[in-house]
Chains A and B, each alone.
Chain A
């Protein structure tokens, strides 16, 4: 499933669209460009100074020292001036690119949070992270080095060529004739190199995956004594990466010195033809010597050309990827200030002929119509894959239905402002994801302005004080990355406290206490029952008592509601619920 819309664009259009998103970069670009050109002129000072010295300073048997002195001083002043231009250009360029890319990064980050793909498809999260990190870095690397080098290199070639043609058009043509074949084959080398670099990136990815597997899976590897098998897998990945790296080095080592040889051939040809021309009186010896210096200006742009072209390609790919994110319209969009504000108080929800399917996939929910009156307690039951969680995601507007509509207090969910919606309806997912920080930090995520006392009070009201006191540092205990220092059940406790503190009018629990021990779970359920009294509560249930306690049970099968009604009614009639109930009873009492 490719949920991101990558609009096919040419390289130029991509860059243009990218630049239109970053006004900070375009501002003052002309000035930076002018400074770059001035800085480049500094490169031809040496050849001109040498030419002047040879032709005018050393014209006679006795060198014209005063002329040479004046000329050197003028040139030195020019060098200092061009260096200053170079400094100013660099500072402007860095400030402009970094500011614009920081903006782009933050826009990308914010936009990703608006895309439902984030909550639908966990496998793509890593790729989304790289859109706002690695891809942006790639653009910045190009803008500050490669892009600048293109300007400098082209400027250098241009200025050197102009000076050459002014000195001698024949020799200038000869230089171009020698370098042109190299310029023509360079793009081919670049393609090789680019393919080789792509391979390195892939192999590095494989290697990192292998290393990460060996670290994340440390317990399983040890428990099953499969250390040597893991070591083999690691070695294969590490060696493949090394081989790919060595391959790129072979290409670079071949291409890079080629320029030296071409330069030498050019030098030799210039000496040969220059001397002929000189004998005929067509050029001066200073002109010829100046050419020998000017040729060195051709070498460095061509030596770095393959790498610059490669970076340019990467940068354009980076632009494409980040534009792919920014140009994907938020499929679950916030209506913003025009949206409806829900008044506080018990909420009613209605599903009207709601259907849902992932793009290109089979229907996950079909024709779901149900009314959830205010203050009611609803239990949602069904086997894994029956559509329970999709129902929850539609109710919290993590996704929009493909057909039909969901209304809250009679308002289409799509018209309700996010700020209002998120305040009134809160879901506690099964996987209690925690952020790296303390217990308090994580609970406060539910309501950022909550005081420490309010958090402590929430824990007391939920009957979690005993558990908190048993932790090494109580509420200040760090939970570790993704909460991994706590057990699965403990994470669920924190996630529940977090939602409880948020104080919503409709609380949706998606098997939120499935990993908690029964006594704690019952205690929690009772506490929640107390606090949700007078509010609407929807629970995706994994055990009997939740369903029994509900006002109404919705039974899902294959994406449809196949049965509904109070527990007592449903259990009496043969059907999905009665079967489910029987297995629960068996599990609890056998």
Chain B
């Protein structure tokens, strides 16, 4: 059973290697040719040394003189084989590296392209950490056997040449080699087989240790303010000790096999001396041959382990390759139609009987409403009522399970690729800035003049702090740049949407971190801009009265359904849930005042 599984893995592994070889034929050929030269020259160098011993050293010690011709030839042979061998090694290492890195880069490109192509719903189903490791660790693992592969092919050449050479020089000594070398190769295979799962486990634990540290340090404020440092340390220690034990297990296997693999060829040489002595006695071989075979054994001992390296990497490579393959063959990619949306004028939005579910959990049920061009609609609802999910369907980040979103009567699914984002801009609840300049973050690479960028920043009330930044529009923000406050980040994200003059602007609680005074200025600015020619249709998710007051109409969501819709005043008059929600603060205030006056009366 186990061997069947193993042979399946081996077959799959060889198929993975086949993929790489087909993709990089020229580089692989160069690497293998170099490695072949290396293999042949390794055997040849032993032969050269044997020849020198036989024809230069032994005669010299025997006769007390050296033949100048033989000496020159011996030196030439030693140096020549070494030079060729060195060239072989250089070529092998270089081309093997190039092949490996090219394949890794290729997988990384393919995988990241696929990330960009796959719909957001797919992203939601896969944790960020997994996607990062697909592009990093898995791409590395999948092509790791490519580094030792040419050497292994060279070793096969080497072993074949050595076998032929030994059989020709002395069949009996060759038998010693035929016993020792397969034993080394086999032992090495067993070694790598035992090591591989342990090493994978250690690698996994290393990632887990890092995850705990990441999470714990990210949540430092919570850990500290609740005084949970000790509990966190206990959690970390448990994982660190698991890692320690896993590493020691790896060490035990290494510790056992490394000396054995080192001892085997040494024992082989000793066997050669013993058998060789008997062969010398019978006159079958000369002393030079003995030296040559013994030398060959010392030279072959190390490279033969390359076979094991390749085989050992295969299971990990198969896992890495299959993970990458799973990403590349992921379906459910967003299909696009061919329809184009008009370029100018406010858009008409229609949400038609729309439902959406995360897995089995339905968050939106038959949502249905329409927004006339140029109107501003506020989406209001309690925390967790499905507002953010709903606005995601407006820019086609996700497609509804049932029903449709239509802009100017066209189902968004019919619109050509890129067509939706040209017309609709969403400012999400959670701000995301790229590791780029302020300008880059606003334009996202579109050819937009600085004048327009500044205008958008002004509208988003961001021009003040941006002009105070060290390099203005060219200041780096995001991961490695200037750190901005939450409100500043939100204003940049808003400018990013405004600069595109979208026909439909969707704001998902996009000014929550902005001071109320600044928010008011932004909202008035938007209304003034809307009154001008560049009018947009606006959908805004909001709690604040000031924001709601700007809307022509309110859609009130409760538990994923449209509970009511109408003007603010209408809903206030007839919808209890809405009234409770938006007047919560006022009622609270009123109650307090009443309470205080009661207290005064009673006092």
Within 8 A of A (CB), among B92-147: 93-94, 97-98, 101-102, 104-105, 108-109, 112-113, 115-117, 120, 123, 127-129, 131-132, 135-136
Of the residues B116, B255, B584, contact of A90 by C-beta under 8 Å:
B255
Q: Please choose the segment from B184-192, B245-253, B340-348, B404-412 that sits at the chain A interface, where 4 or more of its residues have CB less than 8 A away.
A: B245-253
Question: Hey, which chain A residues are within 8 Å of B113, CB to CB?
Answer: 231
Q: Is the interface of A mostly helix, strand, loop or mixed?
A: helix
Task: Known A109-B233, A217-B432; judge A238-B269 contact (CB<8 A).
Answer: no
B240 touches A106 (CB 8 A): yes
Give me the 4 closest cross-chain CB pairs, A-B, nearest first: A422-B227, A94-B251, A90-B255, A264-B82
Task: Known A211-B136, A446-B226; judge A98-B221 contact (CB<8 A).
Answer: no
B545 touches A589 (CB 8 A): yes
Q: Does A253 contact B (CB under 8 A)?
A: yes
* Minimum distance in angstroms from A566 CB to a CB of chain B: 11
Q: Does A284 contact B (CB under 8 A)?
A: yes
Give B227's nearest chain A residue, CB to CB.
A422
Question: Hey, which chain B residues are within 8 Å of A583, CB to CB?
Answer: 516-517, 520
A275 touches B60 (CB 8 A): yes
* Minimum distance in angstroms from B458 CB to a CB of chain A: 19
A502 touches B226 (CB 8 A): yes
B102 touches A271 (CB 8 A): no
Question: Hey, which chain B residues are within 8 Å of A445, CB to CB?
Answer: 222, 226, 228
Q: Does A588 contact B (CB under 8 A)?
A: yes
Within 8 A of A (CB), among B433-480: 434-435, 444-445, 479-480
Q: Does B74 contact A (CB under 8 A)?
A: yes
Within 8 A of A (CB), among B539-580: 543-546, 549, 559, 580
A94 touches B86 (CB 8 A): no
B487 touches A242 (CB 8 A): no
Task: Known A86-B258, A125-B218, A222-B421; judge A519-B382 contact (CB<8 A).
Answer: yes
Task: Known A46-B298, A231-B116, A517-B581; judge A275-B280 contact (CB<8 A).
Answer: no
Q: Does B402 contact A (CB under 8 A)?
A: no
| CA distance in complex: A174, B45 (Å) | 21
B213 touches A522 (CB 8 A): no
Question: Hey, which chain B residues are within 8 Å of A122, CB to CB?
Answer: 483
B383 touches A489 (CB 8 A): yes
Against B, the Cβ 8 Å flags (1 = close, 0 = not) of A460-503 are 00000001001110000000111000011110010100110010
Question: Hey, which chain A residues are within 8 Å of B277, CB to CB?
Answer: 53, 57-58, 63-65, 68-69
Q: Please choose the segment from B63-71, B163-171, B308-316 that sits at the chain A interface, where 4 or more of its residues have CB less than 8 A away.
A: B63-71
Question: Hey, which chain A residues are within 8 Å of B98, CB to CB?
Answer: 246, 249
| CA distance in complex: A587, B109 (Å) | 48
A254 touches B270 (CB 8 A): no
Of the residues A261, A481, A584, contact of B516 by C-beta under 8 Å:
A584
A249 touches B247 (CB 8 A): no
Q: Does B16 contact A (CB under 8 A)?
A: no
A54 touches B219 (CB 8 A): no
Of the residues B105, B120, B298, contact of A241 by C-beta under 8 Å:
B105
Give chain A's interface residue range (CB within 8 Å of chain B). Answer: 35 or more
Q: Does B430 contact A (CB under 8 A)?
A: yes
Question: Hey, which chain B residues are within 8 Å of A256, CB to CB?
Answer: 89-90, 93
Give B252's nearest chain A residue, CB to CB.
A91
Q: Does A239 contact B (CB under 8 A)?
A: yes
Question: Hey, which chain B residues are within 8 Å of A514, CB to CB?
Answer: 512-513
B515 touches A383 (CB 8 A): yes
Tell which of A46, A227, A272 has the most Cβ of chain B within 10 Å: A46
* Minimum distance in angstroms from A55 CB to a CB of chain B: 10
A50 touches B256 (CB 8 A): no
| CA distance in complex: A164, B376 (Å) | 92
| CA distance in complex: A313, B53 (Å) | 43
Question: Hey, which chain B residues are within 8 Å of A76, CB to CB?
Answer: 267, 270
Can you identify 5 A-B contacts, CB atoms within 8 angstroms? A213-B479, A249-B94, A278-B57, A427-B221, A588-B546
Task: Known A275-B66, A285-B61, A587-B546; judge A242-B244 contact (CB<8 A).
Answer: no
Seed contacts A122-B483, A225-B418, A427-B225; 11 additional CB < 8 Å A-B pairs: A87-B256, A94-B252, A137-B206, A215-B115, A216-B432, A253-B91, A268-B75, A271-B57, A448-B228, A488-B512, A517-B381
Q: Does A175 contact B (CB under 8 A)?
A: no
Q: Does B161 contact A (CB under 8 A)?
A: no
* Minimum distance in angstroms from B180 CB to a CB of chain A: 13
| CA distance in complex: A442, B420 (Å) | 39
Question: Hey, which chain A residues are within 8 Å of B217, CB to CB?
Answer: 112-113, 118, 125, 128-129
* Minimum distance in angstroms from B399 CB to a CB of chain A: 12
